[in-house]
Amino acid sequence: MKNLKKIFLLTLIAGAIYSCDDAYEIIQPGEYAEDVAILTLADMNLALSEVYDNISGEDIIGFTSVFTDEAAIGNENGGQNLDEYRFQVFANNGYASSIWLDNYRVINYANRLIEASDNVVLDTLADDFEDQLQEKTRILTEARVIRAFSHFQLLTYFSTDLKNDSALGVILMDHVPSSPPNLEQLPRSTNGELFAFIDQDLDYAQENFSTLANNGVVLIKPQFILGLRARIAAYRGLYPEALAYAQQTLDIVQGNGLVTGETLTAATTAYRGVWTDTNIVSEVIFTLTRPTGKTGIVGNWFFNGASLAGGPFLDMSRSLYNQLVENNDVRLRVFVDNSSLIAEDYTTVFDYKNADVIVIDKYPGNTAQNLPLNNNIKVMRFVEMHFIKAEAQVAAGDLAGALTTINFVREKRKATALPAFENAQQAWKAILDERRMELSFEGHRYIDLKRLGTLAGVPGVQRYTRDCTPYSSCDLPVTDYRFTLPIPLDELNGNAAIRSQQNPGY
């Protein structure tokens, strides 16, 4: 993988495009542009590996957990994440910058591969020409899906209103940016323009389903393309479309993509395997592998490992824990580590922070590879499709159907079935609550509160008072401007075309 870095002119990485000029004048010996490095199918496959290798999810998960109501300041905290926990987010925020740069880096690599594919000429007279053509199409399909996904990730966090096609989105990057001295400076496109471009990439992918492998979870496959379209449609409020894509995704997998067992113990064991990375195929649509040398997701909350002895500087929030206890299903047993200190009198105990330490165990580390801070990043799971289906059913007025869908998930998790919904708001809240438990620490809560909070009658983040009062950070309405991230200061400083397009409030 290190040698593969030579393929790309790293000084042209999108998102870092607009930094100081002298950084771009440095061309390292042995550094090759894609017109030299990508000439064969083997080269294309190597370049595609680099595209995959740069997809990130750790920053989104880390930011969401501490900014919302998933995590609380831990007893080992020495100042980590206090700004985010206090809702102090500015244009120089590190998470906002990383999410912006990481996704544009992926888009840049994908664009370089896509443009360079024109240099890969196949022999039409070869006996295996059709196989070669299918291979080339597969590589381009995966690259275009990843490009679409990265654009959507950016839209999710930096657009004020995904349901408004006229609202400002992000920079649409459909090409390799020019190099100095003709440095490109591009403005933000509208949501409508970006979604039209994303649709083009995903339409191409659907037309070429047959080129994709339909097994494994570390590569793009039809389920992810359909699932991504379902997620996009749900976030945009296009629920008939969301329902269709979610159902198509679920129809592909046996058992609708949820592990279980006859007993609570068996179901817990099966579900724990999803998070120890020993049983991910059963529930996961797409995951990012995190072997040695990659950033460790566990490091978002711990210094050394996912246990009380591992130095938790962030705990599970008491409000989330109470919700898990109330449901008393497999998620409580899997997401909370046995080393936790649970104060029965947590409302009155004197030394609350040290007496009530709820250790996050959703990512227990990869013990098989002796990587205490590493677990795969679950980009998409089948359970999300059930939740999107339920949302679409509520939007269509089918409360009974939504109840059946939510209770199907709860039955797999060994939770008690919910009673009939009395109205739509109650149904929306049930979906939001279920998503909070099931998808905790996967990077969903931030956008879920923004898009579903008002419908569900949830006014804002739901932190427990003894967690948040010492930091004056108990209340943030779901309508607050900080539920959209700021355009990073690095971008504003170097890109005059976007300088006047900062998001409101920043």
46 class by beta-carbon count within 10 Å (0-12 exposed, 13-18 middle, 19+ buried) = middle
* DSSP, res 290: -
Map tokens 């971008």 to a residue: 491
C-alpha radius of gyration, the chain, whole number = 23
Domain residue spans in the chain? Answer: 1-212+459-506, 221-289+381-443, 293-375
Q: What is the pLDDT along the chain (506 residues), one digit of tens a residue?
A: 334 333 343 333 334 444 434 434 445 565 667 777 899 999 999 999 999 999 999 999 999 999 999 999 999 999 999 999 999 999 999 999 999 999 999 999 999 999 999 999 998 999 999 999 999 999 999 999 999 999 999 999 999 999 999 999 999 999 998 766 557 899 999 999 999 999 999 999 999 999 997 768 999 999 999 999 999 999 999 999 999 999 999 999 877 899 999 999 999 999 999 999 988 888 999 999 987 777 799 999 999 999 999 999 999 999 999 999 999 999 999 999 999 999 999 999 999 999 999 999 999 998 878 888 999 999 999 999 999 999 999 999 999 999 999 999 999 999 999 999 999 999 999 999 999 999 999 999 999 999 999 999 999 999 999 999 999 999 999 999 999 999 999 999 999 999 999 999 99
204 class by beta-carbon count within 10 Å (0-12 exposed, 13-18 middle, 19+ buried) = middle
Q: Is-above-0.75 flag for pTM?
A: yes
- Residue 280 CA to residue 17 CA, distance in Å, equals 37
In single-letter form, the type of residue at position 473 comes to S
Mind giving me the DSSP string for 434-466? HHHHHTTTTT-HHHHHHHHHHHHT--B----HH
Query: What count of other Cβ atoms lies within 10 Å of the Cβ of residue 92?
Result: 12
Distance (Å) of CA 252 to CA 165, 208, 222, 287, 319: 31, 17, 9, 18, 36
pLDDT, position 183: 77
pLDDT, position 194: 98
Contact 160, 170 (CB under 8 A): no
- Residue 214 CA to residue 225 CA, distance in Å, equals 12
Cross-strand bridge partners of residue 460: 477
Distance (Å) of CA 147 to CA 110, 219, 264: 6, 14, 41
Contact 142, 220 (CB under 8 A): yes
Map tokens 């049930």 to a residue: 430
Among the listed residues 187, 57, 205, the one whose alpha carbon sits nearest the alpha carbon of residue 502 = 187
Cross-strand bridge partners of residue 371: 366
**Would you put residue 13 in left (φ > 0), alpha (ψ -120 to 50) or beta?**
beta
Backbone angles phi, psi at 477, to 5 degrees: -65, 150
Contact 364, 337 (CB under 8 A): yes
Confirm or reject CATH 1.25.40.390 for domain 1-212+459-506, answering yes or no: yes
* DSSP, res 219: S
* DSSP, res 407: H
The CATH architecture that domain 221-289+381-443 belongs to is Alpha Horseshoe (1.25)
pLDDT, position 180: 64
Residue 242, both tokens: 């969301």
Among the listed residues 225, 221, 232, 227, the one whose alpha carbon sits nearest the alpha carbon of residue 247 = 227
In single-letter form, the type of residue at position 466 comes to R
Map tokens 């990077």 to a residue: 443
Query: What count of other Cβ atoms lies within 10 Å of the Cβ of residue 142?
Result: 25
Q: Residue 100 half-sphere exposure, CB side, CA atoms within 13 Å?
A: 26
- Residue 439 CA to residue 442 CA, distance in Å, equals 6
